[in-house]
Amino acid sequence: MNPSPKHTPLLILGAGPAGLAAALYAARADLQPVVLTGPELGGQVAITYMVENYPGFPEGVEGPDLVARFKEQAEKFGAQLVLDTATAVDFSQRPFRIQTTKTEYTADTVIIATGATAKQLEVPGEEEFIGTGVSYCATCDGHFFKGMDVMVVGGGDSALEEALFLTRYANTVTVVHRRDALRAGPLLQKRARSHPKIRFLLESVVTDILGDDVVESVRLRHVSSGETSELPVSGVFIFIGHHPNTDLFEDQIALDARGYIITDKHMRTNIPGVFAAGEVADSRYRQVITSAGMGAAAAMEVTHYLENLSDATP
Ligand code: NAP
């Protein structure tokens, strides 16, 4: 470890809506927070074309634009954003120690806001068409597929819930699932199966996403027969689960069975002084507004925590 680490009262890991809202609130409380942006400034919203459900933007706001505004506002009040990524943490004693790709920090408190990453199918064409037909968020992008034929990949609650949501806009929604039985709960299954716009292709996997500038079709393979087919669609919505970005904390912080950080309603983890906010601790709501709210709350809790700490110091 670096012999002279940089010290900060608050280190925020991650610069998505949760991390940047935490940075804004902490900066305004004069905590001079340092934010490690990680590899992707802005998190998932930065790759969302248009956000239409963030209050205050009735015309909608492009994801990267919203991130730029969050960043500008946090920096205006003194948050320091650093393009660096934590590579190891030691929460066993205070101050906490955080090793990064460039240096080492010590911190009195930490807010973990490293987010979650949508699982990818890892098929040809997927990466290439992100933003031009491939999406991981129906709430964000469904609106752009008015009157078009779209596909949803996955058989869980998210896939069916999002498929139902997409029927508001799309002409047809084809749900492609790799097994012959859906994983989703019975109520959602019943609603999806009885919807006139939704049809199912079971025991089928996507092998290629095809198109020129935008998605035009998907190549499928039937799992038992091995037969291949091509289905013309304009949108491919992939809901095969998320990975919370918690690998770094596995041995340090209490995680639930799916790897999400366990917090109480005050964003506290099991380690006093370490807080978590946003999708790294939330598999349920996963919205910009809810993540930002959790970030703000975590920063307010940090403020109280540090005040109590200094009151307790003789
Ligand atoms: P999930 O329950 O893990 O379902 C993921 C789905 O994707 C499964 O059907 C899985 O297939 C499929 N899948 C995984 N990897 C795949 C791959 N590489 N290729 C093709 N298919 C793949 O995830 P989720 O639907 O996001 O739900 C996460 C949690 O949130 C669940 O506990 C769920 O109940 C909850 N949730 C609840 C609600 C609600 O109550 N309204 C809404 C959304 C989410 P297999 O079935 O073959 O494994």
Give 23-51 pLDDT, tens digit per residue.
Answer: 999 999 999 999 999 988 888 788 676 78
Contact between 135 and 238 under an 8 Å Cβ cutoff? The reply is yes
Whether residue 187 is predicted with pLDDT greater than 60 in this model: the reply is yes
- Give the per-residue pLDDT at 140: 79
What separation in Å is there between the alpha carbon of 284 and the centre of ligand 1?
Answer: 12
pLDDT (tens digit, 9 = 90+) per residue, 218-262? 999 999 999 999 999 999 999 998 899 999 999 999 999 999 999
Residue whose CA is at the smallest distance from ligand 1 atom 9: 155
Structure confidence at residue 158 as a pLDDT band (50, 70, 90): confident
- Give the per-residue pLDDT at 314: 60
Whether residue 2 is predicted with pLDDT greater than 60 in this model: the reply is no
Whole-number mean pLDDT of the chain? 95
Distance between CA 55 and CA 67 in Å, rounded?
14
Residue scoring higher pLDDT (311 or 93): 93
Active site residues: 137, 140-141
What separation in Å is there between the alpha carbon of 159 and the centre of ligand 1?
Answer: 7
pTM: 0.78
- Give the per-residue pLDDT at 139: 79
Whether residue 90 is predicted with pLDDT greater than 80 in this model: the reply is yes
The angle, 0 to 180 degrees and rounded to 10, between the axes of the packed helices 186-193 and 157-166 is 30
pLDDT (tens digit, 9 = 90+) per residue, 116-132? 988 999 999 999 999 89
What separation in Å is there between the alpha carbon of 241 and the centre of ligand 1?
Answer: 5
The residue count of the chain comes to 314
Whether residue 209 is predicted with pLDDT greater than 70 in this model: the reply is yes
- Give the per-residue pLDDT at 262: 98
Residue whose CA is at the smallest distance from ligand 1 atom 31: 157
